[in-house]
Amino acid sequence: MDFHGKVVWVTGASSGIGEATVKEFASCGADVVIHYCHHQEAAINIEKFIQSHYHVDTLLVQGDISNEEDVKRMLNTVLDKFGQIDVLVNNAGIAIDTTFEDKTVDNFRHTLDVNLIGTFLMAKYVGDVMCKQKMGRIINIASTNGIDTVYPESIDYDASKAGVISLTKNLAIQYAPYVLVNTVAPGWVNTPMNQELDPEMIRDEEKKIMVGRFASSEEIAHVVVFLASDQASYINASVIRVDGGFYV
């Protein structure tokens, strides 16, 4: 797939699915905006990797996507450099793993602020730019936890991802016909977020997956890049499960 001349902004691009996605777009010729919130060194290393492997332009932006002023500041930085945004991948997110009994209102609210409100803010401001361009793609990263894979230990995360799926459908209506808005809903993925899971839990979960393993971040990135490509020009307001087949 060819993304030469395109500008792609990936949030939460300093590790995991975001890192794999921004590298995949760069390998296809896109100029990339690498967003991070806390992990500056990791983001810098990713930018160095891309610059040494691909003939594309890059930009690092730092900010809290749940903070409206940060979002507007980052957007202005991106537009000052590139003058356009063709693809937005809303990947940034958090999960606060605790028992149900230890869930707090503050943690629940923080999860919603980043995963749901942050996705809304990014889509709101970047989507406005795309509408003025009369073209664009927004791909939100949700989770099968927002559909039918539920764990009381992640009730806050699950609710936030269900909200992202609902948000996607509303955004697709709001921005029609110029901007296509879709969601990728991964199942279990080998990301830093999941590296500290109990090995026995991992084995139990793998037994529920038809292909018998967790996904790699690159396998999710492939689907994201496809949705941003010309080959996906008639896919809109859709939720694409990427979970290896899960025995619900």
3-state secondary structure of 78: helix
Rounded to whole angstroms, the Cα distance separating 185 from 90 reads 12
Q: Among this protein's residues, is 157 annotated catalytic?
A: yes
Identify the active-site residue in 36, 54, 157, 175.
Answer: 157
Helices and strands in the chain, H and E counts: 8, 7
3-state secondary structure of 76: helix
Nearest to 187 by CA among 17, 6, 10: 17
Rounded to whole angstroms, the Cα distance separating 55 from 48 reads 12
Place of tokens 């896109």: 30
Cβ-contact 204, 189 below 8 angstroms? no
Rounded to whole angstroms, the Cα distance separating 179 from 226 reads 15
Backbone angles phi, psi at 96, to 5 degrees: -105, 100
Structure tokens at 191: 């990301």
Cβ-contact 26, 57 below 8 angstroms? no
Q: List, by residue number, the catalytic residues.
A: 157
